[in-house]
Amino acid sequence: MSISNAQATPSIQICRIMRPDDANIVGNVHGGTILKMIEEAGCIIGTRHCNSQTGDRCVAALARVERTDFLYPMFIGEVAHVSAEITYTSKNSVEVQVNVLSENIVTGTKKLTNKATLWYVPLSLQNVDKIIEVPPIEYSSPEQEEAGKKRYEAQKLERTETKERNGEIIMSVSLPEPYTVAFSQSSLIHLVGPSDCTLHGFVHGELHSSQSMSGVTMKLMDEVAGIVAARHCKTNIVTASVDAINFHRKIKKGCVITVSGRMTFTSNKSMEIEVFVDADPLVEAEKGKYRAVTAFFTYISLDKENKPLPVPPLKLEGEEEQKRFEEGKARYLQNKAKRLTDKERQQ
- Annotated catalytic residue: which of 22, 196, 222, 278? 222
- Annotated catalytic residue: which of 24, 92, 306, 335? 24
Across 29-178, where does the E strand assignment appear? 58-65, 68-70, 79-89, 94-103, 110-124
SS3 content of the chain, % helix, strand, coil (to 5): 30, 35, 35
Q: Which of 246, 337, 258 is nearest to 295 (CA)?
A: 246
* 195 burial type by CB count under 10 A (0-12 exposed, 13-18 middle, 19+ buried): exposed
Q: Is the Cα dihedral 343, 159, 320, 314 positive or negative? A: positive
Residue 192: how many other CB atoms lie within 10 Å: 24
Residue 300's contacts (CB-CB under 8 Å, 6 or more residues apart) are 237, 238, 240, 269, 270, 271, 308, 311
- Classify residue 32 by its DSSP letter: H
Q: Is the Cα dihedral 18, 21, 27, 30 positive or negative? A: negative
Query: What count of Cα atoms within 13 Å lies in the side-chain half-sphere of residue 283?
Result: 8
User: SS3 for 11?
Assistant: strand
Give the integer Cα–Cα distance in Å for 287 and 32: 30
Return the bridge partners of 252, or none. Answer: 202
Give the integer Cα–Cα distance in Å for 208 and 258: 19
User: SS3 for 275?
Assistant: strand
28 as an active site residue: the answer is: no
| 12, 137, 151, 284, 314 from 44: Cα distances, Å | 8, 16, 22, 31, 41
24 as an active site residue: the answer is: yes
Report yes or no: 259 and 275 within 8 Å, Cβ to Cβ: yes
User: Known catalytic residues?
Assistant: 24, 222
